[in-house]
Amino acid sequence: MKDNNCIFCLIANGNIPSRTVMENEKFRVILDLGPATAGHALVLPKEHFGDLFEIPADWAADAMKTAQEAAALIKEKLQADGLNIVQNNGETAGQTVHHFHMHIIPRYKGDGQNILWKPGKPSDAELDGVLEKIKA
């Protein structure tokens, strides 16, 4: 299903022009308008799924395959030193557009970006408690 009020549905289906890196039957990969680095791209499904919890498993698998293909192309053509795949779900996690997407972020030595986190220092008991909750 497409949502005509969703900007990424409109872009993915070609109703709004975009800088398309590659496209297949189910996905369009476009350049991000606010890139972290040169070549930062977004993998957009042509159907509307809000986030990781809404996208069906077969679409999620195909999204990763498409991301892998686009990442290899971008890394090679732009001579990147590394590459991050980022996928945000929910506003707390930084999602601003509520149409599932994967970020492909090529990395260059000295690019000044920091797509890392501050490591915590939980006790063994705290780690065990978390694991118990997940497995209960």
Helices (H), 13-123: 57-78
Restricting to residues 12-71, which ones interact with Zn ion according to CB under 5 A? 48
Cβ nearer to Zn ion, comparing 8 with 27: 8
2 by Cβ neighbours in 10 Å (0-12 / 13-18 / 19+) ranks as middle
**Radius of gyration from C-alpha coordinates of the chain:** 17
Question: Out of 1, 33, 57, 116, which residue is the one contacting ligand 5GP (CB under 6 A)?
Answer: 33
Please, which residue, 42 or 104, has the CB nearer to ligand 5GP?
42
Is residue 34 a contact point for ligand 5GP (CB under 6 A)? Answer: yes
Q: Which amino acid is at 48?
A: H
For residue 91, give both structure tokens: 């506003």
Nearer to ligand 5GP, 96 or 123 (CB): 96
Closest approach of ligand 5GP to the CB of residue 88, in Å = 4
CA dist 65 and 37 (Å) reads: 22
Stretch 71-100 residues interacting with ligand 5GP (CB under 6 A): 88, 94-97
Q: Is the dihedral of CA 83, 87, 93, 96 positive or negative?
A: positive
Structure-token match 């690019």, residue found: 111
- 40 carries an active-site annotation: no
Could you tell me which stretch among 26-34, 53-61, 71-79, 123-131 binds ligand 5GP (CB under 6 A)? Answer: 26-34
Given the rule CB under 5 A, which residues bind Zn ion?
3, 6, 8-9, 48, 99
Active-site residue numbers? 101
